[in-house]
Amino acid sequence: MERQYKLGLGAFALGVGALALAQPFGNTHQSSAQAAQAHALAQTTAKLSLVEPASRSKIDYARLDARLRRMTEKPTMVGMAVGIVENGRITFLNGYGETIEGSGEKVTPETIFRWASVSKGVAATMVAKLAEEGKISFDQPVASVAPSLHLPGRNELVATVGDVLSHRLGLYRNAFDNKLEEGQDAKFLRGTLATLNSVCPPGTCWSYQNVAYDAASEMAAKVSGVRYQELVKRDLFRPLGMTSASLNRDGLVQAKSWARPHSVGRRPLEVSDNYYRVPAAGGVNSNIKDMSLWMLAQMGEMPQVLSPQLLETIHAPRVKTPGERGRMRKFLERLGEADYGYGWRSYEYAGHHIVGHRGGVDGYRSLILFDPKLKSGVVALWNSNTSQPGGLEFEVMDMLYGLEFRDWMELDKGGRSAPEPDDLATRKDGRRSA
């Protein structure tokens, strides 16, 4: 459908390194030890930013590229960007289709998309870093660090920070998402959650949230004294070399190349700021290169920023999510137990432990899935409301594990979309959010 985009790798990597050297942690007065650490980290991020074909081993990239081109030709698709990591190195970055229907402007690896609920893993990682610094504890009552959150029966005094990040607050699914989408203030809505009835005591059942989950941004800001968006950029995005990543609407629409949202019928949509108002739940934007760097960091390839202990804490299965297997029923041939940790899902797939998340806001979809042991996985971003490309993650996993091919993207089955995951709220108008 279009020629493969050729990324200027050397210049791009040097740009990442130069920025990291200039502003490693947002601190202009550094000791020599800090400067040396920043220099080493800049070298690491510059190296990891390169596409490294020599690390390719198990994935058939020609076949994958051909299937992605076919996917982009589907009438529900507009544009898409995909990144692959094998053996701890980026091995594939490519864009497909257009940033806006009929524009002729091609999606490239530098095109900015929205992450939607994949942002939840960013919030959990940020809180975990603060916990390592002794500023917060996963076991402390959430009321002590997120005063805007009020739960039924004063359960904010019982529910913990960890319960927020693992969706164990005892609320019904996606509580007050509809009011957020009407334009109501997120902090106000968190305060009025107390008017609801609990479905279970905190910590005892799992139910996906967005408004309540954004208590994570409040708690991070409260204990650090830094606005959440700036804190994440300073302590995560900048050290990791994620130069395109942002947490607001301007970071998307003011980018040189950004993907406009579309309906399933390829109709352009307006960019809503609803889920930017709950940044911990759905506020991140970036290009596919930076999302690939994020995945590498979650694999443990940047221990100077994300320690092995931190990653073990956030990825550990903490609550079973049996309903996830029902929604993912077409994959049950290989998909076993499904769990949720702190901002991350985990699965047993064909005998392997894998970690990831998915997301969607109106006009955008996203996914990240990887095997921590193999340090291999896939990220994808696209700008329409179809969920059909979601099968890509398991086609990549099947290649990594040498399993028999399955048409998980259903390219040969009339284009039927995959079941919607619980990461996306179903609204009355049929659209999906966060």
pLDDT digit string (tens) for the chain, length 434 residues? 333 444 433 333 334 444 443 344 445 556 888 888 888 999 999 999 999 999 999 999 999 999 999 999 999 999 999 999 999 999 999 999 999 999 999 999 999 999 999 999 999 999 999 999 999 999 999 999 999 999 999 999 999 999 999 999 999 999 999 999 999 999 999 999 999 999 999 999 999 999 999 999 999 999 999 999 999 999 999 999 999 999 999 999 999 999 999 999 999 999 999 999 999 999 999 999 999 999 999 999 999 999 999 999 999 999 999 899 999 999 999 999 999 999 999 999 999 999 999 999 999 999 999 999 999 999 999 999 999 999 999 999 999 999 999 999 999 985 444 445 556 544 434 444 56
Task: Give the up-direction half-sphere exposure of residue 399: CA atoms within 13 A in the CB hemisphere.
Answer: 23
Residues 57 and 173 in one domain: no
User: How many angstroms separate the most distant Cα atoms in the chain?
Assistant: 61
Q: Rg of the chain over CA atoms, in angstroms?
A: 20
Q: Is residue 302 part of a domain?
A: yes
Q: Is residue 158 part of a domain?
A: yes
Distance (Å, whole) CA 104 – CA 356: 32
Residues 332 and 420 in one domain: yes
Residues 264 and 384 in one domain: yes
Element of type H or E holding 377: strand 376-382
Q: Is residue 228 part of a domain?
A: no
Q: For 98, which DSSP code?
A: B
Residues 366 and 349 in one domain: yes
* Domain count across the chain: 2
Q: For 182, which DSSP code?
A: T
> What is the torsional sign of CA 91, 96, 99, 104?
positive
Structural domain containing residue 311: 53-116+238-269+283-433
C-alpha to C-alpha distances, 4 to 62, 68, 107, 269, 372, nearest whole angstrom: 11, 11, 10, 27, 28
- Could you tell me if 377 and 402 are in contact, meaning their C-beta atoms sit under 8 angstroms apart? no
Q: Which of 127, 157, 164, 154 is nearest to 143 (CA)?
A: 157
**Quick check: helix, strand or coil at residue 335?**
strand
Residues 109 and 162 in one domain: no
Q: What is the pLDDT of residue 434?
A: 63
Q: What is the pLDDT of residue 316?
A: 98
Residues 262 and 364 in one domain: yes
Element of type H or E holding 349: strand 345-349
Q: Which amino acid is at 263?
A: S
Residues 301 and 403 in one domain: yes
Q: What is the pLDDT of residue 15?
A: 40
Q: What is the pLDDT of residue 419?
A: 46
Residues 149 and 295 in one domain: no
Residue for token pair 């830094």? 226
Residues 350 and 215 in one domain: no
Q: Is residue 11 part of a domain?
A: no
Residues 101 and 143 in one domain: no
Distance (Å, whole) CA 119 – CA 360: 10
- Could you tell me if 271 and 361 are in contact, meaning their C-beta atoms sit under 8 angstroms apart? no
Burial of 284 from C-beta contacts in 10 A (0-12 / 13-18 / 19+): buried
- Could you tell me if 385 and 262 are in contact, meaning their C-beta atoms sit under 8 angstroms apart? yes
**Quick check: helix, strand or coil at residue 168?**
coil
Q: Is residue 375 part of a domain?
A: yes
> What is the torsional sign of CA 8, 11, 14, 19?
negative
Residues 164 and 103 in one domain: no
Q: Is residue 386 part of a domain?
A: yes
Q: What is the pLDDT of residue 420?
A: 54
What's this model's pTM, rounded to 2 decimal places?
0.91
Q: What is the pLDDT of residue 393?
A: 98
Q: Are strands 319-320 and 285-286 parallel, antiparallel or unpaired?
A: unpaired
Across 18-119, the runs of DSSP E, i.e. the strands, are 79-86, 89-97, 113-114
Q: What is the pLDDT of residue 422?
A: 54
Distance (Å, whole) CA 299 – CA 154: 38
Q: Is residue 275 part of a domain?
A: no
- Could you tell me if 172 and 386 are in contact, meaning their C-beta atoms sit under 8 angstroms apart? no
Output the domain CATH number for residue 384: 3.40.710.10
Q: Is residue 20 part of a domain?
A: no
Residues 74 and 162 in one domain: no
- Could you tell me if 425 and 433 are in contact, meaning their C-beta atoms sit under 8 angstroms apart? yes
Tokens of 209: 């949230």
Q: What is the pLDDT of residue 12?
A: 37
